[in-house]
Structure 1
């Protein structure tokens, strides 16, 4: 069983393009155009999908939306910076961050339906406990219907195993029957105390089933995270190798320049360097003395 969210395939393509860029360390281009276009295209589509889901399904759930938007802003910021970076090492760092943030979004979207269900369950139960008058029953019934819709959408989540799916669907049918009974009781102005209790009992059952399904998906998320960590380790090795290559090239360039200089020129350059260092030290001392005198 693998993670399957609305954004997983986009992130997979982004990560694949990033890995290709990491491996193309001999390329004269900092970012090969064919890989860059894949990353930019998919990240733009990813941003649109995330914003669409957040605005439609997570409105009012600030704990989750804030975290999601932080990741999206980070990804977009790193995408913009790619065109401004001048060294391969910095480009690889930015790509590494993009890969990490995109993969975090996959995990958030895999687990967020369960977080939402827990949040909504608590809100609904608090509402039921605080409302005891028959005139409040339409509000409770409406809230229960919303929870029922969330449950149905959760049953269609492709990350859930068949056993959990069947249990959730059975809970949905049970809730539908209860809602019909509650609506009938309200129309006939029957005493509601027992029905309120049934609402809470039904939600306890829902909570247990949702938690069971969540544990299954958490194992899938754990496997996804381990796989991503393995990829990160590979990228780190390539990034370190690139950094070492750049340092080696810089040292070789310095050595070549030194070889072209005469002995007198090298001594003069060394003297100028030491002089600059001495002048900098004197200037710092003068600043410290001046600040000390001002404070007296």
Structure 2
């Protein structure tokens, strides 16, 4: 496959930029609803691939044909399907290096991974290839990038830069405190515990679904407490806002709100990130998939990498 090779593709489990199903699977069919062309790159293991070679900037020599096609892909959205041992990380690392070598300002590249360690290791490898220029790349998890952007632009929602992030334990404790203050089913053993309540609220945020839908579909044994759970959810949101507290879900939810409701801020952020690369795309949820789409509003240069399972 050459870098210019293109085909229209239909996602059987969802498609790129679709907020409803982020796990992408490709077929050779065309989708009449797609107004963009997504370029697929399928990575395969090369038996004689030399894993021990010293990295260099001779990309054609260092990469196999599929990897090279992905690394040197032209602008626009692209999907890389990478099987086990196919060199997925190698491809992402070289893609970042190639963009910088091609004259792209490193600060205009956004690398999204599911662990901070993965981002750090990838950027370290980019540094081996091209030196200290890689230090200016914005890389991290969805949550760490959202944290950075909210501290910079959150005031449009009344969020001060010094907000505090609660971990899951803190969030559960606040929920328990509010439950007592509201006098909600204190003696009813069938009322969900704080951890379950936090899980329910988290599912609402990450799947962009309402409380009633989540409870009836996945926690139907708590359906009798739906009204109380709604009251507690409203109190929880209000308490967080008043105290400038954000839980992990809020980082993504509020960034989405900023990007949705403030056009100037959305344009400012999307103009900054000329190229967006996403690792483990098959693991993204609806909220994360929508954030990718909004962050790419201006340039639409998104390369997502997922496995072939």
What's the TM-score once normalised by structure 2's chain length?
Answer: 0.21
Which structure: greater helix fraction? 1
Which structure: greater strand fraction? 2
What's the TM-score once normalised by structure 1's chain length?
Answer: 0.22
